[in-house]
Amino acid sequence: PLTAGINSHDHLEIGGCDVTKLVQQFGSPLYILDEETLRSACRQYRSAFQNYYPGEFQVLYASKAWSCLGVCAIAHSEGLGIDVVSGGELYTALQAGVKPEVIYFHGNNKSVEELSLAIESGCTIVVDNWYELKSLVNIVETLRATSLQQTRIMLRLTPGIDCHTHDYIRTGHLDSKFGFDPDQIEAVFAFIGQQPNLTCVGLHAHIGSQIFERQPHQDLAEVMVQWMEKAKSYGLPVTELNLGGGLGIRYTESDDPPSIDEWVQALCQAVKAACESQNLPLPKLLCEPGRSLIGTACVTAYTIGSSKTVPEIRTYVAIDGGMSDNPRPITYQSLYRAVVANRMSAPVSETVTVAGKHCESGDILIKEASLPQTEPGDILVVMGTGAYNYSMASNYNRLPRPAAVVVANQEAKLLLRRETYQDLIRQDCLPNSLLG
């Protein structure tokens, strides 16, 4: 899906830009976001809904996958709303010019400050639990002196639907920290019915991430349509149904996810079927993909440095980043694929272990990478790093976070400035008493 090619120097090009030149210009490591791939994924989601869903719909970008001004602005310009999960992500979306009407605020432990910011901004709050619901009632009452606006909320339910993915990223099974338990739902509906300042516009559920099956979302649609009906019986004006994100992407050859079109089609058909069989009106349907919008749209370019061969065991090839810019392999044992950007047609000749530069043996980006012969100074490009890489990046070992550029039509523009050593100590305080 990347707008990639190989130029006459045998170099990888993305968005018409020579990756080795981008590294010379912007430094290494470098996140390179292909604007066209991201836009095209946004369009695929929207046009699939247009084709398969006769009712209203809204696609949201789950900005936890990569929250920054430029990415929010691109998604918004393609007609997407934004899903945020913290005051920081909310602030970023608002600063990117995203309209609050299409911002949905999730999270299982939003603070009073975050809830107040959300209410004042006018976004929709996806209420996760009783504690939040009750604090929201209090905050809204206090703020009501200054604003007479109703606060739009949705309710997050734990649907009790399982899917096959990594344990840390499953969220829909009953033993999940997110959402109201089914046992509680009717009491919640009744309570909200009594709240004059809260308008409950719909229900939400999210069952997990990097999912390849379609069945769990179809089951989810059915369960949620029934809960919508229940909510209406308590007098709640629910018209919106948000079925979360979760569509997986292809990291390696063996991954075989459905296409965006197939996934949306399955979702829409399930919602339509559930509504038809119970003779209900179609809800406004929302979904909030993150990974499948941005995952394949970005690569990370690194510079190869040292290497070490352990006879008869393996060769380590080290790059100038690692678990600080891509914590997914060490966290989830995630697999990635890499190419050598400055010798694209050189035949694959070895299997090496791509190691990061952190002081930790587990800092391995790719255990078995099939690469051509490499040497120091080569540019290694890891594919599919758009989702949950920058957003989970850290300064471990005080590595400055890499820069990011967005490329399109042979042009590269800065999205994130590379951190400097000064940036690293910006928040540090050195009390006088500590100076000798």
| Distance in Å, CB of 399 to ligand LLP, minimum | 19
User: Of the two residues 206 and 357, which places its CB atom closer to ligand LLP in the complex?
Assistant: 206
Q: Can residue 356 be called a binding residue for ligand LLP (CB under 6 A)?
A: no
| Distance in Å, CB of 279 to ligand LLP, minimum | 30
Cis bond upstream, residue 29 (ω within 30): yes
User: Of the two residues 100 and 289, which places its CB atom closer to ligand LLP in the complex?
Assistant: 289
Q: How many CB atoms lie within 10 A of CB 341?
A: 26
User: Of the two residues 249 and 318, which places its CB atom closer to ligand LLP in the complex?
Assistant: 249
- Range 60-99, binding ligand LLP (CB under 6 A): 62, 64-65, 83
What does the DSSP 8-state code read for residue 128? -
Catalytic residue among 17, 298, 359, 429: 359
Applying CB under 6 A, among 81, 202, 289, 329 the residue interacting with ligand LLP is 289
Terminal-to-terminal C-alpha distance of the chain: 58
Give me the long-range contacts of 345-348 (CB less than 8 A, separation at least 24).
Answer: 345/6, 345/10, 346/10, 346/372, 346/373, 347/372, 348/372
What does the DSSP 8-state code read for residue 415? E
How many residues does the structure list for the chain? 436
Closest-by-Cβ residue to ligand LLP is 245
Q: Can residue 329 be called a binding residue for ligand LLP (CB under 6 A)?
A: no
User: Of the two residues 46 and 328, which places its CB atom closer to ligand LLP in the complex?
Assistant: 328
Tokens for 366, please give them: 């790719």
Distance CA 250, CA 143 (A): 46
Total residues interacting with ligand LLP, rule: CB under 6 A? 23
**Residues comprising the binding site for substrate?**
291, 328, 332, 360, 388
CA–centroid distance for 429 within its chain: 33
Q: Are 72 and 93 in contact (CB under 8 A)?
A: yes
Distance CA 35, CA 39 (A): 6
Q: Can residue 291 be called a binding residue for ligand LLP (CB under 6 A)?
A: yes
Residue 431 backbone phi and psi in degrees, to 5: -55, 140
**Residues comprising the binding site for pyridoxal 5'-phosphate?**
246, 288-291, 388
| Distance in Å, CB of 351 to ligand LLP, minimum | 25
Q: Can residue 245 be called a binding residue for ligand LLP (CB under 6 A)?
A: yes
Sequence-separated (6 or more) residues with CB below 8 Å from residue 140: 119, 151, 197, 198
- Range 94-133, binding ligand LLP (CB under 6 A): 106
CA–centroid distance for 37 within its chain: 15
What is the sign, positive or negative, of the torsion defined by CA atoms of 270, 274, 276, 280?
negative
Distance CA 168, CA 171 (A): 8
User: Of the two residues 144 and 367, which places its CB atom closer to ligand LLP in the complex?
Assistant: 367
Stretch that binds ligand LLP, among 49-57, 87-95, 243-251, 413-421 (CB under 6 A): 243-251
Please report how many Cα atoms fall inside a 13 Å half-sphere around the Cα of residue 305, on the Cβ side. 11
Catalytic site includes residue 359: yes
- Range 19-58, binding ligand LLP (CB under 6 A): none
Q: Can residue 170 be called a binding residue for ligand LLP (CB under 6 A)?
A: no
Applying CB under 6 A, among 152, 328, 357, 358 the residue interacting with ligand LLP is 328
User: Of the two residues 388 and 390, which places its CB atom closer to ligand LLP in the complex?
Assistant: 388
β-strand pairing of 30-34 with 298-310: antiparallel
Any idea which residues carry the catalytic annotation?
Answer: 359
Give the binding site for ligand LLP (CB under 6 A).
62, 64-65, 83, 106, 169, 171, 206, 209-210, 244-247, 288-292, 328, 332, 387-388
